[in-house]
């Protein structure tokens, strides 16, 4: 073989290697259904990446690839390269993961943005320690309480079996005198149908996803907190991409974060109206119930700081609490 032929062969092999490396197929796992605004946002995120890079991403929705509690581990072990989780569902791992679930600590989208910016670095560090990279985070609409019977006073939930989705909502239920059971979003209709739970806290968006009107009558729009989802990637997989593809993903993520906050605000309006259109009674919680929830929030913030320590105290100061 001539020198030239060898050089040509090497170049060919290298370019084949190069395109094999960039034309990868990835999987992404999310716990939420196709119609949910988070999922719609992810689809746009993926479209933007696929339009600008050879990377191909298959999205597995509605916990079809991995159940929510398995997604972080699943991305660490590269069963999927990308994942979306409800961050606070991992709140037992680290208090930083559940600060967004303390009732009335940072209610509403504006406070939520402040809280995210103040906690982002600490959360990113936790992900890095786990071999993961945070790409973006989007909040759920405000959280409200769904009941079968009217909830005029705080004791209405006494002894009621209550669907929780993380440690914080379980604690909230407990402090309301209810009996919490953790149920994943994808399993809500079944849990109500089989009588495992008869009340819950979640957004109007998840109420619509689970067709709450089939099993509860009342939605009390307390807007107690805007707990967040995080979209993240396996760090090794990400670092294995060429710099240009990495850049495209980072930029698409930044856009998805801003778009997602707006989509969440829009979903809050649309899905709250939808609950009413489907025949549910949508109401503000009574002053007594609000007072009780706010007091519970204060207690939970104290409990949280006791666990989160100096870092937690500094975070609350940073958001003016």
Nearer to ligand PCA, 68 or 249 (CB): 68
Nearer to ligand PCA, 109 or 238 (CB): 109
Beta strand 25-29 with 56-60 is parallel
Determine, following the binding rule CB under 6 A, whether residue 227 of this chain makes contact with ligand PCA.
yes
Cβ atoms of 78 and 132 within 8 Å: the answer is no
Give the span between the Cα atoms of 192 and 308, in whole angstroms: 34
Cβ atoms of 160 and 247 within 8 Å: the answer is no
Number of residues that bind ligand PCA (CB under 6 A): 10
Q: How many CB atoms are closer than 10 A to CB 246?
A: 16
- The C-alpha R_g of the chain, in whole angstroms, comes to 22
> Using CB under 6 A, which residues numbered 92 to 111 contact ligand PCA?
none
CA atoms within 13 A on the CB side of 229: 26
Measured from the CB of residue 68, what is the shortest distance to ligand PCA in angstroms?
8
Determine, following the binding rule CB under 6 A, whether residue 234 of this chain makes contact with ligand PCA.
no
Measured from the CB of residue 143, what is the shortest distance to ligand PCA in angstroms?
6
Give the span between the Cα atoms of 267 and 255, in whole angstroms: 18
Q: Is the dihedral of CA 158, 174, 273, 214 positive or negative?
A: negative
Which residue from 15, 45, 91 is spatially nearest to 231, judged by alpha carbons?
45
Q: How many CB atoms are closer than 10 A to CB 270?
A: 15
Nearer to ligand PCA, 27 or 206 (CB): 206
Q: Please pick, from the candidates 104, 140, 192, 238, the single residue that binds ligand PCA as defined by CB under 6 A.
A: 140
Q: What is the x/- site pattern for ligand PCA, positions 8-37, by CB under 6 A? A: ------------------------------
Give the span between the Cα atoms of 314 and 157, in whole angstroms: 34
Q: Please pick, from the candidates 72, 86, 133, 167, the single residue that binds ligand PCA as defined by CB under 6 A.
A: 86
Determine, following the binding rule CB under 6 A, whether residue 261 of this chain makes contact with ligand PCA.
no
In the numeric block, the tokens 């609409």 are attached to 141
Measured from the CB of residue 15, what is the shortest distance to ligand PCA in angstroms?
46
The pair of structure tokens assigned to 69 is 């509690």
Measured from the CB of residue 304, what is the shortest distance to ligand PCA in angstroms?
18
Measured from the CB of residue 172, what is the shortest distance to ligand PCA in angstroms?
13
Nearer to ligand PCA, 80 or 205 (CB): 205
Residue 230's alpha-carbon distances to 30, 90, 116, 147, in angstroms, are: 10, 11, 11, 28
Nearer to ligand PCA, 86 or 241 (CB): 86
> Using CB under 6 A, which residues numbered 159 to 178 contact ligand PCA?
165
Q: What is the x/- site pattern for ligand PCA, positions 185-224, by CB under 6 A? A: x----------------xx-xx------------------
Binding site for ligand PCA (CB under 6 A): 86, 140, 143, 165, 185, 202-203, 205-206, 227
């Amino acid at each position: 073989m001539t020198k030239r032929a060898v050089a040509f062969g090497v170049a060919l092999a290298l370019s084949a290697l190069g395109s094999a490396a960039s034309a990868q197929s990835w999987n992404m796992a999310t716990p939420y259904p196709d119609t949910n605004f988070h999922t719609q946002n992810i689809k746009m995120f993926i479209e933007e990446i696929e339009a600008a890079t050879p990377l191909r991403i298959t999205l597995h929705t509605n916990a079809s690839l991995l159940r929510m509690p398995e997604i972080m581990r699943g991305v660490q072990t590269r069963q999927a390269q990308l994942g979306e989780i409800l961050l606070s569902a991992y709140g037992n791992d680290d208090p930083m993961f559940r600060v967004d679930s303390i009732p009335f600590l940072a209610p509403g989208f504006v406070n939520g943005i402040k809280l995210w910016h103040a906690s982002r670095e600490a959360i990113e560090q936790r992900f890095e320690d786990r071999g993961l990279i945070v790409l973006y985070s989007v909040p759920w609409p405000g959280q409200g309480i769904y009941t079968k019977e009217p909830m005029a006073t705080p004791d209405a939930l006494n002894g009621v079996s209550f669907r929780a989705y993380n440690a914080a909502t379980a604690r909230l239920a407990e402090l309301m005198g209810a009996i919490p059971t953790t149920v994943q979003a994808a399993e809500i209709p079944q849990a109500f149908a089989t009588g495992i739970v008869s009340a819950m806290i979640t957004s109007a968006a998840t109420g619509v996803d689970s067709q709450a009107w089939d099993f509860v009558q009342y939605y009390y729009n307390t807007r107690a907190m805007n707990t967040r989802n995080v979209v993240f990637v396996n760090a090794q997989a990400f670092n294995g991409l060429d710099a240009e593809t990495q850049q495209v993903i980072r930029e698409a993520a930044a856009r998805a974060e801003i778009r997602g906050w707006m989509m969440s605000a829009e979903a809050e309006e649309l899905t709250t109206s939808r609950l009413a259109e489907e025949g549910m009674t949508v109401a503000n919680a009574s002053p007594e119930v609000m007072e009780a929830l706010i007091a519970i929030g204060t207690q939970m913030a104290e409990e949280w700081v006791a666990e989160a320590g100096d870092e937690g105290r500094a975070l609350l100061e940073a958001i003016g609490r």
